[in-house]
Amino acid sequence: MRSPAPPIGTRGRYELKAPFQARPDRVYTCSAIRKFVDLENQGINIFLRYYDPLGLEDSDFAQDKRNGELLLTLTSETEAPIYVPTSYLLSFPNQSGRRYHHVVLSASMGPIPDYIDLTHVRVEMANVISDAIGHVPEVHVGVSPLTQDVTPEEHESLEAARVAAITNRTTDYTRFLAERQKVARLEAKLAALEEILRVNGLIPST
C-alpha cells in the first residue's frame, strides 16, 4: 500500500525517516512528485541514484516499487534538494492554515517626569518577551499629556515615592534564569566529581 504524499506546493516542515534527513529548523516545499516508472522510462536507475548513496539495500527499493511509492523533491531556499520516497515520509505540513493575530502588549506607567530615559526599560521588555515566546518585539513608547501641570511640591513627593518603590530590580523570570544557570553549574561540578571517582576506581563505570 502506497504511503500518503503531500500535494505539490506544500510548504512547511517535513519529518523524514532515516537515513533521509530534513532540517527541523528549515522550511521545505514539495516541488515535484514522480512515479518510479516515469523515472525508469527516462533511463534513471532509481536504486543507484537515490537509495544506494544512503546505504539502503536493493530490497528496500524493491519493496517501495511494489507498493507504488512516489519520489518527492523537497526544496529549500537555503538547503540542497532532498529526493525522498514517500515511504520515508513521517509527516508533512498541514495545509489547513493557522490563524495569526497582531498582538500589542501595553503597560500604563502612570505620570512620570519627561527626563526619565526609557531606553533600558524598552530593551528589558523586548528581552523578556523574546526569552518567553521566542519572538523579538518592537517596543514603542506612547505619551499622553496630563490635563493639568504638576507643582514642584507634587513632583518632589511623586519622585520620592517612585524612587522608594524601586526595590526589586530583578524580575521573576530573571531569577528563574539565574537559578537555572546555578543548577547547570552544580550539575557540571557533579559530573566532574563523578568522573574523578570513576577514574580512581571508587565508583563503577557505566
Same domain, 40 and 72: yes
In a domain, residue 4? The reply is no
In a domain, residue 159? The reply is no
Same domain, 51 and 85: yes
Same domain, 15 and 80: yes
Asked if residue 11 lies in contact with residue 74, where contact means CB atoms within 8 angstroms, the answer is: no
Residues 194-200 have a mean pLDDT of 85
Same domain, 47 and 72: yes
Same domain, 80 and 110: no
Same domain, 19 and 49: yes
Task: Convert the pLDDT of each residue in 81-129 to its tens digit.
Answer: 999 999 999 999 876 666 778 888 888 888 888 888 888 888 888 888 8
Same domain, 60 and 37: yes
Q: Report the distance separating Cα 28 and Cα 82, nearest Å.
A: 9
Same domain, 136 and 190: no
Q: What is the pLDDT of residue 97?
A: 62
Task: Convert the pLDDT of each residue in 14-70 to its tens digit.
Answer: 999 999 999 999 999 999 999 999 999 999 999 999 999 999 999 999 999 999 999
What is the tally of structural domains in the chain? 3
Q: What range does the domain containing 176 cover?
A: 171-206
Q: What is the pLDDT of residue 84?
A: 97
Same domain, 17 and 67: yes
In a domain, residue 149? The reply is no
Closest CA to 11 of 24, 25, 27, 34: 27
Q: How many CA atoms lie within 13 A of 100 on its CB side?
A: 2
Same domain, 87 and 15: yes
